[in-house]
Amino acid sequence: MPAKIIDGKKVAEKFLNEVNKKIKESKEKPGLAIVLAGNNPASEIYVNFKEKKAKEVGLYFERYNLEENVSQNELLKLIDNLNQSRKIHGMIVQLPLPKHIDEKLVVDAILPHKDADGFTPVNLGNLVNDDNRLVPATARACLELIKSTGEKIEGKNTVVVGRSTIVGKPVALLLLQENATVTICHSKTKNLAEFTKNADILVVAVGKPKLIKKDMVKKGAIVIDVGINKTPSGIIGDVDFENVKEVAGYITPVPGGVGPMTIAMLLDNTLNAMEMGRGFLR
Ligand code: GUN
């Protein structure tokens, strides 16, 4: 039997409705700022989606488009202003940044309680400590999509392919919190298929089109494809969807899987940021 397709848009809609409800009930209007530096076409598309959804759910929204040659100091000054803004509760700086800018320095300048992406050392450290107030949105998206299947996670062999700070590492930590047995594979892993074939749950986030083939997937596995790869034939994931769906139990499509859920999680994070910021002088 072919895999059940996990409809990311549908799962996201449920979370977006919740976010919308919480915003309506909130005394203070939560505010999100997005900073986009340079002209990376993919980043522009992602930010446009984030802006559209942020406005739809009723967040206060500010967007800053900076030139490719913006100086690091100008960017840091903007972050400082947003750190101090009373209207802004959460911000994100879209990555990657132009090459002359030190990405880590910029991310670290965001106040932890305004870090809607959960990328600052404080929030990543909190996650290691099982404090999930601000967790990277894509990692949260993967976990929620797995949960949406209704299948048990505890005790399952789970393989995460990719070890990025944004996705691979945080999703591994979230799955560990759920008592899964977690293996992280990466570009230096020998015999990748030997690991993936044993995975009851497989999360792939490496940015390599169709890396995961049908014969690398266990029958009935839950397969979460984080990849967004632009190819001449359109946007495709890291999983060979058409063939893998013949063996998997559940699979996310690209597009329409992790992407829409990531945006929903980011907007929900903005509410968490507002909560985390209570008591701080803004
Ligand atoms: N670039 C790719 N994914 C992300 C994300 O989730 N947040 C930010 N800020 N940049 C990204």
Burial profile 198-236: b = 16 or more Cβ within 10 angstroms, e = fewer: ebbbbbbbbeebbbbeeebbbeebbbbbbbbbeeeeebb
The token pair at 2 is 């072919």
Separation of CA 55 from chain center: 19
Strand partners, 115: 91
Nearest-angstrom CA–CA distance, 40 and 14:
30
Separation of CA 255 from chain center: 14
Q: Is the CB of 161 under 6 A from ligand 1?
A: no
Q: Tell me the CA–centroid distance for residue 191 and ligand 1, in Å.
A: 30
Nearest to 197 by CA among 184, 210, 216, 181: 216
pLDDT per residue of the chain (282 residues) written in tens, 0 to 9: 899 999 999 999 999 999 999 999 999 999 999 999 999 999 999 999 999 999 999 999 999 999 999 999 999 999 999 999 999 999 999 999 999 999 999 999 999 999 999 999 999 999 999 999 999 999 999 999 999 999 999 999 999 999 999 999 999 999 999 999 999 999 999 999 999 999 999 999 999 999 999 999 999 999 999 999 999 989 999 999 999 999 999 999 999 999 999 999 999 999 999 999 987 654
> Is residue 50 annotated as part of the catalytic site, yes or no?
yes
Q: Which amino acid is at 186?
A: H
Q: Tell me the CA–centroid distance for residue 195 and ligand 1, in Å.
A: 28
List 53, 114, 115, 117, catalytic entry:
117
Strand partners, 202: 159, 223
The token pair at 73 is 């100091």
Residue 281 is predicted with a pLDDT of: 52
Q: Position of tokens 């049908």?
A: 214
